[in-house]
């Protein structure tokens, strides 16, 4: 519900149900599934998604996608066409490069989507669950990166920021509002 800024929309609910070109998964470096949104995406996409993830080259033992980076697979049983798997930083208090790494997740995911010719993408609130990133800080980074991307790529149609719960949606809306007042 409710677009607060052209191109960026905040929606509440289950990201696996969305008919967009790309949905983003908050994965871990192994890329073989997990809990939270990762578990929901794998469950909804089916076993082929796990097989596609296994096929992604390991950079070193147990690492297919380093923190702050992103990898693309088809979306199989999901309504979306592709899944971008990105690995957000674990929150350690903010002094271990977490803001830069989180911003990099959004940037790399958006660039991968653009490279596929996608026009729409949906992000979960990367790092704000198991990885404990404070939602208000993470939301500020999310809206800033999405806004910057849309400014550079005006033909990209829609970025959905998906909140699983109403409280997370309120926090995202605040961040989007604050972004508007800075311009
Ligand atoms: N749709 C949208 N958002 C969801 C869904 C869903 N179906 N399920 C959970 N979320 C939300 C959570 O409420 C949280 O706000 O996604 C956000 C990110 O939470 P996590 O899924 O825990 O992701 P993250 O904090 O990045 O931790 C990643 O969790 O399951 C593991 O394999 C994953 O190890 C990785 C870690």
CB of 16 within 6 A of ligand 1: the answer is yes
Asked if residue 3 has pLDDT above 50, the reply is no
Pocket test for ligand 1, best of 29, 34, 37 (most atoms within 8 A of CB): 37
CA of 34 to the centre of ligand 1 (A): 9
What tokens were used for 77?
């049983």
Mean pLDDT for the stretch of residues 23-36: 98
CA of 39 to the centre of ligand 1 (A): 8
Listed residue (163, 55, 68, 53) closest to 111, CA to CA: 68
Asked if residue 165 has pLDDT above 60, the reply is yes
Q: How confident is the model at residue 85 (pLDDT cuts 50, 70, 90)?
A: very high
CA of 128 to the centre of ligand 1 (A): 7
Sheet of strand 8-12, all strands in order from the earlier edge strand to the far edge? 3-5, 8-12, 158-163, 120-123, 22-26, 82-86, 70-74
For the chain, the average pLDDT equals 95
Q: How confident is the model at residue 179 (pLDDT cuts 50, 70, 90)?
A: confident
Asked if residue 14 has pLDDT above 70, the reply is yes
Mean pLDDT for the stretch of residues 48-71: 98
Q: According to the CATH classification, is domain 8-182 in 3.40.220.10?
A: yes
Asked if residue 183 has pLDDT above 50, the reply is no
CA of 183 to the centre of ligand 1 (A): 31
Mean pLDDT for the stretch of residues 50-63: 98
Asked if residue 161 has pLDDT above 80, the reply is yes
Asked if residue 47 has pLDDT above 80, the reply is yes
CB of 160 within 6 A of ligand 1: the answer is no
CB of 135 within 6 A of ligand 1: the answer is no
Q: Which atom of ligand 1 is nearest to the CA of 14?
A: 1
CA distances from 68 to 11, 83, 94, 171 (A): 24, 16, 14, 22
DSSP secondary structure of 107-132: HHHHHHHHHTT--EEEE--TTSSTT-
Q: pTM of the full predicted structure?
A: 0.96
Q: Which residues are catalytic?
A: 38
CB of 26 within 6 A of ligand 1: the answer is yes
Q: Which atom of ligand 1 is nearest to the CA of 37?
A: 8
Q: How confident is the model at residue 73 (pLDDT cuts 50, 70, 90)?
A: very high
């Amino acid at each position: 519900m409710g677009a607060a800024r052209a191109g960026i929309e905040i929606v509440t609910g289950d990201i696996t149900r969305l008919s967009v070109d790309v949905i983003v998964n908050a994965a871990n470096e192994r890329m073989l599934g997990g809990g939270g949104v990762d578990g929901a995406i794998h469950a909804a996409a089916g076993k082929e998604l796990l097989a596609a993830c296994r096929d992604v080259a390991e950079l070193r033992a147990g690492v297919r996608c380093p923190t702050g980076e992103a990898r693309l697979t088809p979306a199989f049983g999901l309504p979306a066409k592709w899944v971008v798997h990105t690995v957000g930083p674990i929150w350690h208090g903010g002094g271990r490069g977490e803001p830069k790494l989180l911003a990099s997740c959004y940037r790399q995911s958006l660039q991968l989507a653009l490279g596929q010719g996608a026009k729409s993408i949906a992000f979960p609130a990367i790092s704000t669950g198991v990885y404990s990133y404070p939602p208000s800080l993470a939301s500020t980074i999310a809206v800033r990166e999405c806004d910057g991307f849309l400014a550079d790529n005006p033909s990209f149609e829609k970025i959905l920021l998906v909140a699983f719960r109403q409280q997370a949606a309120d926090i995202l809306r605040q961040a989007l509002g604050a972004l508007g007042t800075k311009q």
